Structure 1
Amino acid sequence: MRDPVRSWRRLPFAARFLFSHAAIGFGLAALFVGGFLVANPNGAGMVLLTAADHWWPALALWGLTGLTFATVQIGIATMALGEESRRPPGGRAAPLVPGLLPVRVRRRR
C-alpha cells in the first residue's frame, strides 16, 4: 500500500491548498450542523433527525453547508496569499516624513 503522507506531498501545491482548506470548511460545517442539532431551535433539529424516519436531511444540510463553508474558506485563504510584508528586507522601514516638493508647471494659454 502506498504511503499516504508521501502521496500527499507529491500533489501540486494548488491541489494540496484546495483540499486542505476544503477539509477545514467541511469540519467547520460539521461543528455548525452539530451545534444546530444540539441547540434544536424551535424543534428544527428534531425535524431534521426524525423526518421520514431517516437522517438524510441532516446529511444534506451538512453537505450543502460544508460546500458553502469550504468555498468561503478557500476564498479567504486565496485572498490571504497575496498579502506580503511591505517592509524592506533586512531591517526597519524608513520613517515617512511628510514634506513639500517643488513641481514645475507649464502655463497654458
Structure 2
Amino acid sequence: MSEPLLLDYPSAAAALSMSRQALADLVYKNRGPAIVKLGSRTFFTPDDLKAWISQHRLAANDPRPVKLPAAVVEAALAPGKRKRGRPTKAEQLARAQHFETRD
C-alpha cells in the first residue's frame, strides 16, 4: 500500500515518536513542522515531517552553541552584584563561555 498523502495529529505524532500534545504544543509555538489546514482540521504531509526532522539533525560531536542574552552574561560576570544561593544555569553557562574564550 502507498504512503498516505496527509497525516492527522495522532499519526504524525506516532511517526515522530512523540505525544500528540507535544506535537500540538510545537505547532502552537511555531516551532513544529509545517501544517495543512482543511477546514478546521489540521494535517501534516510526510515530506514536511521529513524536512522538519532534517532541519533539527545535529552531528553527535558538533552541538549547537548556546546564545545567552547580554544582560544574563553581564549579570553573571559582574563582580559585586552576585546574589546569594546557587547560580542559575544561564549564569553557569555564561561564566563557562567567558572563561573558555579568554584562554
Larger RCO: 1 or 2 (CA < 8 Å, sep 6+): 1
The structure whose residues are more often strand, as a share, is: 2
The structure whose residues are more often helix, as a share, is: 1
Fold shared per TM-score above 0.5: no
TM bucket (normalised to shorter chain) is under 0.3
Structure whose CA Rg is larger: 1
